Amino acid sequence: TQPDLALPVGTTLDRFILSEQSAFPFATGELSQLLRDIALASKIINREINRAGLIDVTGATGTDNVQGESQQKLDVIANIRFIRALKNGGEVCAIISEEEDDIILTGNPNGKYVVAIDPLDGSSNIDVNVSIGTIFSIYRRVSPVGSVPTLADLLQGGRQQVAAGYVLYGSSTILVFTTGQGVNGFTLDQSLGEYILSHTDIKQPRTGSIFSCNEGNVAEYPDKIQTYLNTCRQRRMTGRYIGSLVADFHRNLIKGGIYLYPSTRKSPGGKLRLLYECFPMAFIAEQAGGKATDGRQAILDITPTDLHQRLVLYVGSPDLIDELLTTI
């Protein structure tokens, strides 16, 4: 059954989630509760981010994460907040986070779900007041409920996601997610502390005039990608790159465009992480009529082998991705 897509702009997130749930008569409400837990954690992060310059949470911690990136204080704070919310919620048995080496067991072996999360995306933008985000991906576990969760629960592959979304802490804060029934966006009304439906059934324009990549790396990109980018420039397309995947993705989702993170010398296999960056964005893109590929296959068809595996990512308007694929 399709959910009631007629829900008007102005509907609260809670009401929307209930309505989606009612499309599944046997749903227990646990996924709904999990989405609410994530929304609550994101409001707490939103508050911390808004006060960042005032409460000494800018800058680095001096520690590195498992991928050798310097952790920022807000990376660590966001990680703690999300893990706490997911542990307290009780629906999740295991989590993989960008900021943790291994699977985190939540202590809720009866939880039916597992979550992959990038608690804070765009950490190079934290200290300079530029948009940052959070990305999440949810699976129903494959190991028996009550047992100890396993790697296999998190390495199911992108097509098994039951929900995925992101929060963009931008000029306004917006939560965008899908449960496989289209994509909807909810803007945080700060005065109410509520997410309100503002972008119903988001569809990515078939084409667009924006291309987004880190131009500083262009000389290291494969020749064919350089050729493609030259075509973009010759056409006088608009170059836009924020350096926060969430913000770059969201802009292109709404306006139409293509995002590229090809291989570079530093990251020969690509930089972005499959489980908590590429899979959720690919799920959202496809649900909105866009496409996501690594140049060889659809991102969602890739079989994951490692929790922190990295990947090349091309994502955006379907006609632009198709065109890219014919040139590479």
Q: Which residues bind Mn ion (CB under 5 A)?
A: 69, 98, 118, 120-121
One of 69, 127, 220, 323 touching ligand AHG (CB under 6 A): 69
Find out whether 271 is annotated in a ligand binding site.
yes
CB of 177 to Mn ion, least distance (A): 17
Buried b (16+ CB within 10 A) or exposed e, 199-223: bbebebbebbbbbbbeeebeebbee
Nearer to Mn ion, 135 or 196 (CB): 135
CB of 170 to ligand AHG, least distance (A): 13
Among ligand AHG, Mn ion, none, residue 91 binds (CB under 5-8 Å by kind): none
208 makes contact with ligand AHG (CB under 6 A): no
Find out whether 193 is annotated in a ligand binding site.
no
245 makes contact with ligand AHG (CB under 6 A): yes
Nearer to Mn ion, 243 or 289 (CB): 243
Within residues 260-279, the interface with ligand AHG by CB under 6 A covers 271
Do the beta carbons of residue 250 and residue 166 sit within 8 Å? yes
Among Mn ion, ligand AHG, none, residue 194 binds (CB under 5-8 Å by kind): none
282 makes contact with ligand AHG (CB under 6 A): no
One of 91, 118, 153, 294 touching ligand AHG (CB under 6 A): 118
Count residues near ligand AHG (CB under 6 A).
12
CB of 265 to ligand AHG, least distance (A): 12
CB of 45 to ligand AHG, least distance (A): 13
Among ligand AHG, Mn ion, none, residue 289 binds (CB under 5-8 Å by kind): none
**C-alpha 322 chain-centroid distance:** 22
Nearer to Mn ion, 72 or 184 (CB): 72
170 makes contact with ligand AHG (CB under 6 A): no
Within residues 75-114, the interface with ligand AHG by CB under 6 A covers 98
One of 20, 37, 91, 121 touching ligand AHG (CB under 6 A): 121
Find out whether 122 is annotated in a ligand binding site.
yes
| Residues 6+ positions from 16 with CB-CB distance below 8 Å | 7, 184, 186, 197
Among 109-117, 118-126, 141-149, 150-158, which window interacts with ligand AHG (CB under 6 A)? Answer: 118-126
Instruction: List binding-site positions.
Output: 98, 118, 120-124, 214, 241, 259-261, 271, 277
Instruction: List binding-site positions for Mg(2+).
Output: 98, 118, 120-121, 277
